[in-house]
Amino acid sequence: MERPFPFKMASLILFPALAVFAISFGCVLHFDLKQETGLAQVLQDHLRYILRSGDDMGAIDWGKSLESMEQTRVFRVTRNDTPILSGGNQSLLPRPGNDGDRFLFPDSILHEASFTGEDNAQYHFILELAPLLDPWKTASSCGLLTFLLGLCFLMLPSRYRPVPDPIPGSLPASTPSVPGREIHVPLPALSAGHLLIDPHFNIRGTGPAVAELLGLPGKDLLNGHLLDLYPDPSLLQAMETREKQKVIGAFPKAPALQVTLEPVNEGHLLLLEPMETSQNPKNP
């Protein structure tokens, strides 16, 4: 029986995906601001040179060249609040603000500068540019990729996922029970062949005969890890179902054992007992 896909766990992937989205958006926006601030400054310096030289045709050619640029959306140059050069849809141009470069929602870089000409006239240059890299598309792609990779990780069978090392003393008193399936077994009630495994696959209780049944006489198994006993993957799969069942060949190093698996509040209770001769896989 396959365990249903953990949709509640999938919601945990949203947090790293949103974090990747935010970081990607900020990095792309920083890149766009840095690149287009330099471009706008070069255009502004060229404009000031033309205005200083009094070349009217040069100013017109400058405006046509700027309007034909792929990144240019709209621009305007005013002299004493009177427009002398413009391009693009002027109705989309934002109201003048402080000098500098800033991001204009949703996806524009705005450059504003005021300066005084040789004739003591006040000039104002405002330019709106399209970003070199779209921050929304780039950040959305990175966030979506992170989310999909997280989903792929959750969909992997649990035996292929790394088991984190538990923090000493972090074992909870009990785990949520499934009505009609789980029972509470006190640790002192363990019989000779019982092995109690917590939800982190740590050995929390062991009967006196378990080590000998596993072919490890004299070894202290308490507080060890189930993986140290080299269980067969079929045992781990059976534990995921959290159903009472028998598993044959649960420990390849002890093939003559059969394991009765039962979920309990503390995790899983394994009863190790020798198989009957007819069930032993070594016997025909």
Q: What are phi and psi of 213, to 5 degrees?
A: -65, -35
Condensed to tens digits (0 to 9), the pLDDT of residues 246-267 reads: 888 888 888 888 888 888 888 8
Q: Beta strand pairing status for 203-206 and 194-197? A: antiparallel
Q: Which candidate, 47, 27, 50, 49, places its Cα nearest to that of 39?
A: 47
Low-confidence ranges of the chain (pLDDT < 70): 1-11, 156-190, 277-284
Q: Model-level pTM greater than 0.85? A: no
d(CA 198, CA 79): 79
What is the chain's percent helix, strand, coil content, to nearest 5? 40, 25, 40
In whole angstroms, give the CA distance from residue 81 to residue 77: 9
Q: What's the confidence (pLDDT) of residue 23?
A: 93
Query: Hey, CA dihedral for 194, 197, 203, 204, is it positive or negative?
Result: negative
CB 21 within 8 A of CB 143: yes
